[in-house]
């Protein structure tokens, strides 16, 4: 994650827990978004049960939390809008620079 945050390459990351119902509901939309954005925006996910220190570092307090990394080496931008495919893709494209 440190490399992702520091390398100025845009990454849209989903922080999740496998037991979280909201995460499970988002999964098909997230996969579709990743497929449609392939080659434009990197899309990834972090399992906070498996990597709790990563999630603590980025102050993840609830699931899923979606953040865009890599724009100009600055702080990640948290996604706070609805979880529709259109809204997610618009955010990713807008913040990918």
SS3 at position 31: helix
- The single residue of 4, 20, 27, 77 carrying the catalytic annotation is 20
Catalytic annotation present for 48: no
Q: How far does the chain reach from its first CA to its final CA, in angstroms?
A: 19
- The distance of Cα 32 from the centroid of its chain, to the nearest Å, equals 14
- The distance of Cα 86 from the centroid of its chain, to the nearest Å, equals 15
Catalytic annotation present for 20: yes
- The single residue of 23, 34, 41, 89 carrying the catalytic annotation is 23
CA distances from 96 to 10, 15, 60 (A): 5, 18, 21
Segment (H or E) for 47: strand 42-47
As annotated, the active-site residues are 20, 23
């Amino acid at each position: 994650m440190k490399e992702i945050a520091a390398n100025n390459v845009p990454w849209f990351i989903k922080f999740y827990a496998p037991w979280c119902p909201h995460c499970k509901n988002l999964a098909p939309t997230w996969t579709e978004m990743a497929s449609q954005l392939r080659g434009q925006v990197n899309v990834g996910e972090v399992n906070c049960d498996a990597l709790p220190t990563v999630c603590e570092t980025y102050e993840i307090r609830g699931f899923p939390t979606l953040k865009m990394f890599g724009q100009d080496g600055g702080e990640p931008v948290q996604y706070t809008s609805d979880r529709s495919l259109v809204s997610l893709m618009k955010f990713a494209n807008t913040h990918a620079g």
